[in-house]
Amino acid sequence: MKLYELVGRNKEKGFSPYVWRTKMAIAHKGLEAETIPLTFTEIKDAVDFAGSKTVPVLVDGDHKVKDSWDIACYLEEVYPDQPSLFGGSIGKGQAKLLNFQIVKSLLMPLFRVLVADIHDILDEDDQAYFCLTREPRIGCSIEEARNTYRPALELFQENLWPYIQCLKTQKFFSGEAPAYSDYILYGMFQWSRIVSTKNIINQDDLLFEWRTRMDQLYDGLGGKVGLIN
Amino acid sequence: MKLYELVGRNKEKGFSPYVWRTKMAIAHKGLEAETIPLTFTEIKDAVDFAGSKTVPVLVDGDHKVKDSWDIACYLEEVYPDQPSLFGGSIGKGQAKLLNFQIVKSLLMPLFRVLVADIHDILDEDDQAYFCLTREPRIGCSIEEARNTYRPALELFQENLWPYIQCLKTQKFFSGEAPAYSDYILYGMFQWSRIVSTKNIINQDDLLFEWRTRMDQLYDGLGGKVGLIN
């Protein structure tokens, strides 16, 4: 298997929240993939062969699959004898809902928090591209965003409330063992910790304990990445 | 089975969003329960036998179960050969998460929208009790709330975004067939339509179509209730 992923100057440390979902899903299935690191400006040409403009893209033999959700569904279908990512059709339906639930409530405010940190880990070509495409999206310059992230961080942390509540009675968002809904959320936290030194969750928080459990899965796949800067 | 539920002046039309989850879950399991209607001020004494201060309370033979989530878990455990509410441990974990996800994003703003309508369908004793207990919670009088619900409705409708997105590719929140996560959301919409004539979802919306499908389940259990006023 080959997995195309997004990197900054450091080619070892992919930071896309969506690619992290896929990395964890591949490991959950007991599989391994060679990663192909790409910068933002390299992605378009590099994954055009799969009809995609974004990563992750997974190549598995003759199969080319784009989009993290479609890759999860592909893995579940093609490797049914390996541990399940969704636990059946009800779990799959609910995971798809979660896929959308975190977009505006968590991913968008967190992007606003991290945008300057992401900028700083990119190579020069990517920095120019990133400013050009992302500044209209956030409605200000990267430099202005650097010092005005607090309200977005507060909103993000407020919106973590249901996730913290949930962990009071269960170890993972998928119940007693991790599955795809945990990878959806873990990808977001990996994104943050790899591009930024900002602490977005408190150490005495149930979410922190959950992330530590997630870090230890699959030979410490997520935990051993460390901070990029 | 006996199910204790919350009513206003009309004893036929229980309106609690949590009781509606339980009604749908009982029907999903192919079971039937006699409903015991209670007003707000009757509840405390009536369900004290089950160690509860709220409804739903389910009595099933010797078992007394309180709290809608615990009742769903009870039904799933005690009637394992009937259709599953969660589809296994992953689905159950995720349904518990949804249980919390809708509290602040949907139930609380919708309560602000409906509070005066709820007041109006209660009997006199309950109206006094309701004002006394709920006005501090909303930070204004019921009469003030009656004319200032629009911002809360807008917030509620904005927060429906992920649910509408999800229905673009699947019929139910639990996938291709309804299960407990659908009942969590359906209970909320039943609450609204039974106490209020306000249209909180647009007729040309995927959520409207989903609700219509939900209305038709189990001999039209939810759909045949109609509006209370």
Which residues of A fall within a CB distance of 8 Å from B170? 93, 96
Closest-CA distance of chain B to residue A104, Å: 8
Does residue A116 lie within any of the structural domains? yes
Q: How far is CA A35 from CA A2, A19, A57, B181, in A?
A: 6, 10, 10, 36
Q: Is residue B153 part of a domain?
A: yes
pLDDT digits (tens, 9 = 90+) for A177-198: 999 999 999 999 999 999 999 9
For residues B34 and B103, membership in a common domain is answered with: no
pLDDT tens digit at each of 229 positions of chain B: 999 999 999 999 999 999 999 999 999 999 999 999 999 999 999 999 999 999 999 999 999 999 999 999 999 999 999 999 999 999 999 999 999 999 999 999 999 999 999 999 999 999 999 999 999 999 999 999 999 999 999 999 999 999 999 999 999 999 999 999 999 999 999 999 999 999 999 888 999 999 999 999 999 999 988 654 4
Tell me: do B205 and B103 sit in the same domain. yes
The 3-state secondary structure of chain B, one letter per residue = CEEEEECCCCCCCCCCHHHHHHHHHHHHCCCCCEEEEECHHHHHHHCHHHCCCCCCEEEECCEEEECHHHHHHHHHHHCCCCCCCCCCHHHHHHHHHHHHHHHHHHHHHHHHHHHHHHHHHCCHHHHHHHHHHHHHHHCCCHHHHHCCCHHHHHHHHHCCHHHHHHCCCCCECCECCCCHHHHHHHHHHHHHHHHCCCCCCCCCCHHHHHHHHHHCHHHHCCHHHCCCC
Q: Which pLDDT does position A204 carry in this prediction?
A: 86
Chain-chain contact of B90 with A174 (C-beta, under 8 angstroms): yes
- In-domain check, residue A8: yes
CATH value at residue A63 = 3.40.30.10
How many domains does one find in chain B?
Answer: 2
Mark whether B21 and B111 lie in a shared domain: no
In this prediction the pTM is 0.97
Q: Are residues B98 and B177 in the same domain?
A: yes
Instruction: Say if A83 falls within a structural domain.
Output: no
Distance CA B59, CA A142 (A): 60
Question: Is B170 inside any structural domain?
Answer: yes
- ∠ CA(B67), CA(B137), CA(B107), 5° rounding? 50
CB nearest A166 (choices: B96, B161, B172): B96
Clarify whether residues B74 and B93 are in a common domain: no
Q: What confidence category does residue A229 fall into, taking pLDDT thresholds of 50, 70 and 90?
A: very low
* In a shared domain, residues B124 and B207: yes
B56 and B110 both lie in a single domain? no
* Residue finishing a domain among B15, B46, B78: B78
Asked if this assembly's ipTM is beyond 0.90, the reply is: yes
The pLDDT of residue A227 is 56
- Position B29 in a domain: yes
As a whole number of angstroms, the longest Cα–Cα distance in chain B is: 50
Residues A67 and A154 in one domain: no
Site from A97, A98, A159 to mutate, B interface, most B CB atoms within 10 angstroms: A97
Question: With an 8 Å Cβ cutoff, is A56 touching chain B?
Answer: no
Q: Are A97 and B162 a contacting pair at CB < 8 A?
A: yes
The answer, yes or no, to whether residue A4 has pLDDT greater than 90, is: yes
Looking at the structure, tell me whether residues A97 and A64 fall in a common domain.
no
A104 touches chain B (CB under 8 A): yes
Question: Do residue B114 and residue B169 come from a single domain?
Answer: yes
Domain boundary among B47, B78, B109: B78
Q: Which of B78, B112, B141 is the last residue of a domain?
A: B78
Both A211 and A169 in a single domain? yes
Residue A161 at interface with chain B, using a CB cutoff of 8 Å = yes
- Whether B110 is in a domain gets the answer yes
- Report yes or no on B19 lying in a domain: yes
Domain at B184, CATH number: 1.20.1050.10
Which domain covers residue B129, as residue numbers? Answer: 89-220
Cβ within 8 Å, pair A93-B161: no
Residues B64 and B106 in one domain: no
- In the predicted structure, residue A137 carries a pLDDT above the cut 70: yes
Query: Are B175 and A100 an interchain contact pair (Cβ–Cβ within 8 Å)?
Result: no
Residue B51: left if φ>0, alpha if ψ -120 to 50, beta else—which one? left
Name the residue facing B162 among A103, A170, A174 (closest C-beta): A103
